[in-house]
Structure 1
C-alpha cells in the first residue's frame, strides 16, 4: 500500500508531489473507477485514470517501491490507454 500522491511522484507520472496532490484534490484522478484523494491508498493491480488537461491517461499499477531509478520508473506501471478529451 502506498499513498496515491507518492506513487505518482515516484513513478514520474507527475513530477512533483505537490502537483500530484493538487490534481488529486481537484477530482482529476480515479482509482478503480472511484474519485481519489492524494492520501488514497493504492496497491499493485489498481487502475488509475488521470486527467491532464485535454488528455486522459489510464494506467495499471504493476509495482510499488519507495525509491526507483529514473530509467526504471516506467516499470512501475503499464499504460492501458491514452485518449484525448473533447471539450464541448
Structure 2
C-alpha cells in the first residue's frame, strides 16, 4: 500500500469542517487545531487513528481520523472519514 501524505489543513477542508482551505490553514496558524493538546501547523501530516481538537466558528470538534481524504467530497461521503 502506498502511504498517502495529507496535510492537516487540506484534510480539514476535505472533510468539510472548513469552507475553504485558507480558513483551515488560518485555524491552524491561530492555534485552533490541536493534537495531543498541542497546536499543530497547517503542514502537519495526518495519520489514521489520530484525534484532533478543532475549533471552528460554529463549534468545537473532537475528531478521530478514520480515513485519509485529500479532495473535497459531499458531506455524506466526508463524514465517513472522521
Structure-2-length-normalised TM-score: 0.82
- String of CA shifts for 1:17-67, please: whole Å, max 9, x gaps: 000001110011102322101111111111010123473211101000333
Q: Which segments of 5 or more consecutive residues in structure 1 lack a partner in the other structure?
A: 78-88
Q: Which whole-Å CA distance do the structure 2 matches of 1:28 and 1:66 have between them?
A: 20
Map of 1:80 onto structure 2 = none
Count of residue pairs brought into register by the alignment: 77
Distance 2:20 2:28 in 1: 12
Match for residue 63 of structure 1 among 57, 62, 67: 67
Runs (4+) of structure 1 moved beyond 4 Å? none
Which of the two has greater strand per residue? 1
| Structure 2, unpaired ranges of 5+ | none
Cα distance change on mapping 1:68 and 1:21 into 2, 3 Å: closer
Higher relative contact order (CA 8 A, sep 6+): 2
Based on CA coordinates, which of the two structures has the bigger radius of gyration? 1
